[in-house]
Chains A and B, each alone.
Chain A
Amino acid sequence: MLKNVSHHTIDVTGLNFSYPDGHQALQSVSLYVSPGEKVALVGPNGAGKSTLMLHLNGILRPSAGLVRVGGLQVTEHNLGKIRAWVGLVFQDPDDQLFSPTVFDDVAFGPLHMRLGAEEVRQRVRSALAAVHMSEYPERLSHHLSMGEKKRIAIATVLAMDPLILVLDEPTAGLDPRSRRSLIRLLAELPQTMLVASHDMHLVAELFHRMVIMDKGQIVADGVTESIMDDTDLLEAHGLESPCH
């Protein structure tokens, strides 16, 4: 599944970003994720997590600073390649699943990579199998439950065979069982991963490294265990250790 193993890195340096209304959402953010590493991104509401993620495949462009993915700078010219490498799953699955049927949605990425019909069908099959939803291609997106939608949303990017997965709050709104099986799924996947989450149990369980953002800045970056032990740091940024 993994091609170019040495290249699927995320490398953000000195990233600044302001929204058109003037709100500065990111301030000199620097982050390096090495190939195959899984990193959690935590922080209070409005910290800038989603904003950072939208930079990783060129949906938002830096006001200043550099974003490189797989060794390539995110520019108009590289956009096609970078979007094929980076699978971005949005916070709300109703944004991610925009087609009437599950099949159409999962096929959307591969079709827009201009793959052949047989290859597209094959990719839809294996992506749905990877999220354990093989029986779902004919289903209508609007009749799915929240947990099913989240899984299908992940399948829509897996079908593009990405090197890097960027997931925005994958476990939000899930019941304990769906959450558990999603965690198992994420542990199975081999890709480089950056996952934004408020779910500290998920972070503690799945990620060796975590990054804390607050007010548009990265305020901590290190081994999950030691950060989780630093209750003062967590409290200062409105977070809670999972042991409480």
Chain B
Amino acid sequence: MHVNLVDQYVRGTSTIHRLDTRVKVTATLLLILSVSLMPAGKWVAFAFLWAITLVLTAAAGIPIGSVLRRSLIALPFALAALTLLVTVPGPPLLELPRVGWTVSEPGLVRFASILLKSWLSVQIAIILAATTHLTDLLWALNSLHVPRLLIAIISFMYRYLFVLAGEGFRMARARQARSAAPAGSQSTGGNLAWRARVTGWMVGQLFLRSYERSERVYQAMAARGYRGQIRRLDPPPLSPRDLMLGALPVTAYAVILAAANWC
């Protein structure tokens, strides 16, 4: 049996799907960089940036609703900026009852800008993840000279996450199958302490199994000539068309960024 963890990737044939992955990764990084460089409080500029990401989302053929829903994962992280509300000095906007802290106007502007920036950045990253298979992404990172060890770690994680999830799932099922209720009792599987003990034991088992598997995987790699250095095929040359397509949104973002700094 195997467990289907959901891939972020959405199959498709749009221009964005077919764009050279190296161009996509670089463009994504540049877009996120320009978002983070935006001065606070330039709402019109933010609206333009968002409009462009919406165009990109539509061009990739991904449902906008799903992008928005998934982009909510940015929220909890942005809440770390909540303290800005009360720590940035400036004209007071309102006073929090009881604690006596004052929310300043520039504090609110900075907080809202950070919220918007992280939300936009996540949307841009989602477009990349939804149009690029992780294996292509790894390949692109390799040709962009990200250290191979790091890439190898990500690729093993991706490969064995599924195997590990399958093993965990089978163990949980085996536990359930043996957690019968005594006659006349409603609850199955013993009391909380018992369950905690079993769970702890299962985690330990899972660790041991993974450890032993890593040894066998290493043997399988060694058997096929691995001597400590992962080798890959060299990437094909970049096409000018892909470069130009990638430059389009980046230029648009750069223009908006410049304008926002100017005005």
Chain A positions within 8 Å of B217 at CB level? 95, 98
* Chain A residue with Cβ nearest B7: A140
Partner of B227 from the list A59, A94, A112 (CB cut-off 8 Å) is A112
Chain A positions within 8 Å of B213 at CB level? 94-95
Chain B positions within 8 Å of A108 at CB level? 221, 224, 226
Shortest distance from the beta carbon of A152 to any chain B beta carbon, whole Å: 13
Partner of B223 from the list A59, A92, A107 (CB cut-off 8 Å) is A59
Q: Kindly state whether residue B2 has any CB partner on chain A within 8 Å.
A: yes
Shortest distance from the beta carbon of A114 to any chain B beta carbon, whole Å: 8
Chain B positions within 8 Å of A114 at CB level? 231
Q: Kindly state whether residue B144 has any CB partner on chain A within 8 Å.
A: no
A interface footprint on B1-32 (CB within 8 Å = 1, 0 otherwise): 01000000000000000000000000000000
Interface size on A, residues (CB 8 A): 36
Known A-B contacts A95-B217, A142-B2, A142-B162; A57 and B233 likewise in contact (beta carbons under 8 Å): no
Q: Kindly state whether residue B122 has any CB partner on chain A within 8 Å.
A: no
Q: Which residues of B contact A (CB under 8 A)?
A: 2, 134-135, 138, 155-156, 158-160, 162-163, 213, 216-217, 219-227, 231-234
Q: Which residues of A contact B (CB under 8 A)?
A: 54, 57, 59, 80, 83-84, 86, 88, 90, 92, 94-101, 104, 107-109, 111-114, 117, 120-121, 140-143, 156-157, 160
What 8 A-B pairs are tightest by C-beta distance, nearest first?
A112-B225, A142-B162, A109-B224, A95-B216, A111-B231, A88-B223, A100-B135, A59-B219
6 sample A-B contacts, Cβ–Cβ < 8 Å, listed by A number: A59-B222, A84-B225, A100-B159, A101-B135, A111-B231, A141-B159
